[in-house]
Amino acid sequence: MSVAEGALAPDFTLPASGGRTVSLAAMKGKPFILYFYPKADTSGCTKEACDFQEALPALAQSGLAVIGVSPDPMKPIEKFAEKYSLTFPLASDAEKVVAGAYGTWVEKSMYGRTYMGMERSTFLIDAEGKVARIWRKVKVPGHAKAVMEAAKALG
């Protein structure tokens, strides 16, 4: 299953860093960025998280929040958030239910071996809970900036 631009964002409620819970319902009326990343504290995921953290003040000016989602259990997520002083919520989708709904839990292949994994993807959700923009198979360099530009256009 996959989500399309203009469609209603699939519902979710997940545990997140700092003892928080994130949900689509709680974000109602507020635009936000929902990004999926493969694994906490790996080089690409760290760079992406730090880029979003750096962009937070500018994103907040546009009224945007950021939520990161990975299949990691809460413990490594909490360590990751602490290690890099990440203030936005990092959610655990250990059951991959939300990733499935957004079409980010996909078959990948490396060295000729196929396996299921998280596709690095970002969704810009508008205040009405609709998917305004989708970035799939994200390349980290410059990504947070591209999302910020698209978010400004939304506002």
pLDDT at 155 over 70: no
Dump pLDDT digits (tens) for 60-102: 888 899 999 999 999 999 999 999 999 999 999 999 999 999 9
Location of structure tokens 């690409």: 44
Q: Is residue 45 part of a domain?
A: yes
Q: Is residue 72 part of a domain?
A: yes
Q: Give residue 117's identity as a one-letter amino acid code.
A: G
CATH number at residue 78: 3.40.30.10
125-143 residue pLDDT tens? 999 999 999 999 999 899 9
Question: Does the residue 7 lie in any domain?
Answer: no
Can you give the pTM of this predicted structure? 0.95
Identify the CA nearest to 121 among candidates 141, 149, 142, 143: 143
Q: Is residue 6 part of a domain?
A: no
Residue 2 falls inside a structural domain: no
The verdict on residue 4 lying in a domain is no
Q: Provide the token pair at 48.
A: 């992406």
- Domain membership of residue 34 (yes or no) is yes
Q: Side chain identity at 25, as an amino acid letter? A: A
Cβ neighbours around 39 below 10 Å, total: 16
Stretch 51-57: mean pLDDT: 94
Four-CA torsion 85, 89, 90, 92, nearest 10 degrees: 140
Q: Answer whether residue 3 is part of any domain.
A: no
What domain count does the chain have? Answer: 1
What is the pLDDT, as a whole number, of residue 151?
83
50 has catalytic annotation: no
| Residue 36 domain boundaries | 13-154
Site of tokens 């810009």: 124
**Long-range contacts of range 128-137, CB-CB < 8 Å, 24 or more positions apart?**
129/8, 129/9, 129/24, 129/27, 129/28, 130/6, 130/7, 130/8, 130/9, 131/3, 131/4, 131/5, 131/6, 131/7, 131/8, 131/9, 132/5, 132/31, 133/5, 134/3, 134/4, 134/5
Which position among 16, 45, 131, 147 bears the catalytic label?
Answer: 45
